[in-house]
Amino acid sequence: MTGAGQVMVASQVAKTYGSGDGAVNALRGVSAAFVRGEFTAIMGPSGSGKSTFMHCLAGLDVVTSGTIRVGETDLTQLSRTRLTELRRDRMGFVFQSFNLLPMLTAEENIRLTGRLAGRDVEPGWFDTIVDALGLRGRLSHRPSEMSGGQQQRVAVARALLTRPEVLFADEPTGNLDSNSSAEVLSFLRAAVDDYQQTVVMVTHDPAAAAYADRVLFLADGMIVDELAGPTIDAVHARMRKIEG
Ligand SMILES: Nc1ncnc2c1ncn2[C@@H]1O[C@H](COP(=O)(O)OP(=O)(O)OP(=O)(O)O)[C@@H](O)[C@H]1O
């Protein structure tokens, strides 16, 4: 079981790609708990295992050993079908590359995941997030008619529409300028503060990590440091220490 307030608990997660001489130990016993209404950033040098860890947490990659519990469920024990359902029903995703469907309008893109999940969206919730993200005037636009920042705000709205237990964001500001980045990150912060959303974000950017409540630092497939209440300077300092 997960403990009080914990929505996700990873225990001793290991991931090895390949075998024999070519084997890569991408994760070597990573344990971490994620509580409701907390914003966690995951940082670390290139190749330290950040994406692998997030993909394992999200059930997008299969662990070699260890457990990952979402509520009462150990997702490492689920069949592919059940895992797909769990992702669809209980997780949200935002990617660096927005991943919107080009033929659909902003509104259709936002409503798509809810429709796939067969969920009734709470009355008013669609309007709340559309207004909070400043998308009211863009709802009939297709992705090609929107800026990168607008597209990412649509992707965030889509991910939040079903009120997922965990929102995963993989370098969400990697393709955005600093103003658009700040808008997206401020909204993620507000979703945590105002709606108790749980957010797990992989980033290279100390300024992005500073929006989080805590930063987990990975190096060589292990969590080597953790920083609560991060500031940009403190994140830089920890990264310098890790990178030696
Ligand atoms: N599909 C794969 N097959 C083989 N090795 C892989 C695979 N995916 C990742 N790796 C290896 O696992 C290690 C961790 O990679 P991962 O992408 O998780 O790191 P990262 O911290 O996200 O890096 P970056 O910041 O560069 O995106 C690296 O050595 C990488 O080469």
ipTM for the predicted complex comes to 0.97
Going by pLDDT thresholds of 50, 70 and 90, the confidence category of residue 115 is low
Q: Which residues contact 190 (CB under 8 A, 6 or more apart)?
A: 132
| Interval between CA 138 and ligand 1 midpoint (Å) | 36
Ligand 1 centroid from CA 25, angstroms: 9
By most ligand atoms within 8 Å of CB, the mutation choice from 24, 27, 168, 223 for ligand 1 is 24
Average pLDDT, the chain: 93
Contacts of 111 (CB under 8 A, 6+ apart): 121, 126, 158, 161
The closest of 83, 65, 76, 56 to 12, measured between CA atoms, is: 65
**Spacing, Cα 54 to ligand 1 middle (Å):** 11
Judged on CB neighbours under 10 Å (0-12, 13-18, 19+), 244 is: exposed
- Say if residue 1's pLDDT is above 90: no
pTM of the full predicted structure? 0.94
pLDDT at 121: 74
Which residue of 15, 16, 17 sits with most ligand 1 atoms within 8 Å of its CB, as the best mutation to test the pocket? Answer: 17
Residue 19 CB less than 6 A away from ligand 1: no
Question: What percentage of residues in the chain have a pLDDT greater than 70?
Answer: 96
Domain boundaries, the chain: 6-243
| pLDDT score of 132 more than 70 | yes
Q: 67-96 pLDDT, tens per residue?
A: 999 988 999 999 999 999 999 889 999 998
Q: Quick one: which atom of ligand 1 is closest to the CA of 49?
A: 18
Q: For the residues 119-144, what does the mean pLDDT come to?
A: 90
Q: Strand pairing partners for 33?
A: 9
The answer, yes or no, to whether any atom of ligand 1 lies below 6 A from the CB of 43, is no
- Which residue, among 58, 52, 80, 53, has the nearest Cα to 70 in the 3D structure? 58
How does residue 116 score in pLDDT terms, banded at 50, 70 and 90?
low
Residue 117 confidence class, pLDDT cut points 50, 70, 90: low
Encoded amino acid at 237, one letter: A
CATH classification code of 6-243: 3.40.50.300
